[in-house]
A and B are shown apart, each in its own frame.
Chain A
């Protein structure tokens, strides 16, 4: 209807612009949804056929996509998750409590508070590769305080490693015996000593001066004889608590680095959890004569625990997908001979495996990469569902 101030045409114009815009919005939203669908569909099409139980439980085999699997990568990812959670959660929740519960009245301390809060928001935006660099310097090389680990030199400080010498006897068997001093490079076999053969039997190793002096007709004896002056090779049996300094390119260093990456997320999520606790509970606790820390410990923390847990899972699901810091610290590991036996080992993880496979020339690995992506997405889905489940169950409990 026309009025004094607008002609019918301009009003219709405005209305049509409005409806065009609505349509545009819908189209754009449709585009977004379609992009996601396209993304997921392409992954499933590429990799769906290559998913199998064999794939899940096998390990990577060089140049052989059909036989390769991601078992070590799955184990490694989960272990990395747990490790970085252990590192990040205590400090993260502590910082969140510090920021939310203890607001100081002093002007300078309030400035410190504001600075810490700003800093944490900023750290959340630092590229993960920069954390990788920090991790390499701080955890792998430990600021070059210790001499670096090279293949020929054992680390300067380590526990849990049992060094032994091994050598091949004249009969072809490989025997081993204890190594008293791992740094002694001049050790040669020149005395008979107690050794263990490949079957595990203990025997006395016999030494002869020349090869010609060896008992040629007795294969058993031959298997227990070596020529004098041979240099044995050194290897280490590492127990589950094997540990050395500097950390070097190990799971521990990677876990600590990932802990740094997720720390800001844990802090921000924990702050949200603490803010969600109603102020009336704190008032009630303080009114009962609790000190501030007692009020936090007895009332606020239990009430915020489900929020903490969902925050932790959120952070862990971010850590599971991070490839850059792990790549920097541990390198592009695809498979290890022994698996994850101790903290100082290397291990493949899912995102790094995907990255390496995607860049591999062998086309078969492209499909495997897609299959690994499916596994990764399923893992993320499971983690997020657990988070939602915890949250809804505890929300019922808190009433």
Chain B
């Protein structure tokens, strides 16, 4: 029974909860048991709520028994990326500098999830301050890819993706600054959506790069993503960049799942050199399936995408260097006092030296440089201009097509340590996902199959114009149906059974 419960989609579990077939306490307990069984090996969680989650679940069960009107996800457990602050639950953003910090307030998406009656299970692992593509930069050790525990689960939201892929949670919240929701989805065989910039409030999301960050759903199927999207999206007066207009239902778009007449543009620049053969193969097979259903596939060009990574690695560190200045040992978090005391300046510097990992320091120094007097125009200023050019590429493309498509990332999951020594090659991982963040447009990644050469999951990415998130759910749901018909079920059904794998990976100290 318990194993059955954890394998249900969020939508299906929600339906069973609504019908009274199972209680939220049972469902929550099943997921906590699963976490206890496999998270030693996966290490998706930095914090697990335990009994408090059970109490919350019991409260929802009581409300349901009392006939309270509840939404489709009420009583469904959820994992929360540790980038979001949670009242009464530790929030570290994967950093030593925030170890043990308990925020006095909830992030708006967390508030919305709670209001929807969902049960927070805990906080998921991530690259420190969301800087990374592998979760190897977490101060608390990496998360392991449930498909192969020696491989990375993607990043920065490797914890959220792995928790979902390992059936520890039906769905999760993630954050995507340059691909941190979509790229982990790609390497774990899950679904991830980066909504339009401003669709989901950033209030309470520990900022990496304010003009790029966006919170979104991490799930095992497209409908679950849509249901969660509908819960968390909407105007928030606490976030100035939050879009005030009402949104259509994403779940309705999933139920439409109709691609006839849909024009899909294949981005020429993201379909060639540098992309693994199996990644491209599954990508093109997916396009063929859609074409058979009446979609029209056209090639489009985005000539400035080749500058996107460069612009991104100027804008992000610049904004991050300023956003991360608040970690100074005065009001919250770590304080390290140099031996024999020191001035407040020395305490701040010692704290930041001890509290930040190498990647964070690298980007802070880089961003400080890009903003400093005499370099601003050449670096930050130029990068902001590239941003305009990338937006123009999108505008031109969307003048001709309804959605754009590309592989989500160039390769399948790589092994731990493979790219740690070379930051530039690590940065190239985000080549397909970054343009959406620069332009603010929404993107989805869903599984397109396993790469024949290594048997690891690969994803396909769709991008839509800003505010047209519903198009992603429509096309994503259509493709998912076609692929699952071919596979005979969800791709994740083919993932290794972790319960037999047991806890050996961490016990042996793989990393």
Q: Do A and B bind each other?
A: no
Residues of B within 8 A of A (CB): none
Residue numbers of A with Cβ under 8 A of B are none
